[in-house]
Amino acid sequence: MKIWLLNAKKNKNESGTKRILEEWKKVGMNIKFVSIEDIELLINSEWDERLFMKNKSIKLPHIVIPRNNTSYQIKSIVDFLENKWVSIVNSNEARFLAKDKFLSLQRLALNNIPVPKTILLKWLPDIWFIEKQLNYPIIIKKVEWSHWKWIMKVNNKEELEDIIEMLEENMTTLNRNLILQEYIWEKSWQDLRFFIVWGRIIWSMLRKWKDWDFKSNFSWWWDVFKHIPTEKEEILALESANIIWLDIAGVDILFDKNNGYKICEVNASPWFEGLEKATELNIAWEIVNYIIKRYDIK
């Protein structure tokens, strides 16, 4: 059984990548880290598609695990592999649906999953329309944002006008992929995170900000607590991962008014370094064990 872990070369030492490789090697399996920079893809009119690695034509693997990278290059490579019946964890379609925060929330909403009210920002935004739909403060995000790297809170109309004026000059650079989202006030200093593997919640935790801020990250300013989920929370987390077609997923849930919830995001390559350290759980092994069982690897 030939298995690849596929990522950009710069991410070879990313903690999740390293941990999955470590756990595979413990069970004596043939797994290889493959960087997308080493791959060349050739197509022609006779459907003789071939994949080259370091200029040599190679035999395809049986299973590929794409990690964090969601570039056009990795999308094309994984699409080629899927067409050649290579098993992919998670699938290309699921990974890129999860990457697009607007489309993924749209898919969840169509399946009656509660999500924050969200507006796709167009080239010349209509402030009157925005204010009619959303109350201040308003959250602005990139559609493909991750780990809080590109997110802002707008507190009033003056700030919104200033930011939009600034953004209009840079919309081409940003690919115009921005969304506006309602700010969830209730318990806005905390949220829930669920780590899901193959329809099973491996771990759930309550995260609270150490310092008052509207954004954060596990490894920065969170206090983290083990959380025993309610039946409603379990259903929301599992259904959200299933609707986005993810076998491995991280699901973030916000607390809404009247003891309700809203899905903040569903992640196809959830980071788990901090979770393993905080809980002594072996998340990497859960991923490896899932693949072994699903594909009946002896």
**Is domain 186-294 given the CATH code 3.20.20.150 in the classification?**
no
Per-residue pLDDT of the chain (298 residues; tens, 9 = 90+): 899 999 999 888 888 899 999 999 898 888 999 999 999 988 876 656 688 988 888 889 999 999 877 788 899 999 999 999 999 999 999 999 999 999 999 999 999 999 999 998 876 678 889 999 999 999 888 887 555 556 788 999 999 888 877 776 665 555 557 889 998 876 666 889 999 999 999 988 888 876 545 554 444 456 778 889 999 999 999 999 999 999 999 999 999 988 899 999 999 988 887 778 777 889 999 999 999 999 998 7
Q: Backbone phi, then psi, for 121, in 5-degree steps?
A: -75, 125
Q: Of 34, 5, 79, 24, which Cα lies nearest the Cα of 297? A: 24
From CA 182, how far away is CA 97, in angstroms rounded? 21
259 closest CA partner among 186, 158, 151: 186
Strands, E assignment, 74-150 = 87-88, 118-120, 138-142
Antiparallel, parallel or unpaired: β 138-142 and 260-267: unpaired
From CA 97, how far away is CA 236, in angstroms rounded?
18
Query: Quick check: helix, strand or coil at residue 241?
Result: helix
CATH 3.40.50 fits 3-88, yes or no: yes
Q: Give me the phi and psi of 263, to 5 degrees please.
A: -75, 125
Phi then psi for residue 123, to 5 deg, are -60, -50
Q: Are 187 and 171 in contact (CB under 8 A)?
A: no
**DSSP secondary structure, 211-240, as one string:** S--S---HHHHEEEEE----HHHHHHHHHH
Residue 177 φ/ψ region, left for φ over 0, alpha for ψ in the -120 to 50 degree band, beta for the rest: beta
C-alpha 208/C-alpha 114 separation (Å) is 22
Class of domain 117-182: alpha beta
Token pair 């049986």 in the structure block, residue: 62
Nearest-CA neighbor of 70 among 44, 89, 42, 98? Answer: 98
For the chain, domain boundaries: 3-88, 117-182, 186-294
3-state DSSP call for residue 175?
coil
pLDDT digits (tens, 9 = 90+) for 164-211: 777 766 655 555 578 899 988 766 668 899 999 999 999 888 888 765
Contacts of 122 (CB under 8 A, 6+ apart): 176
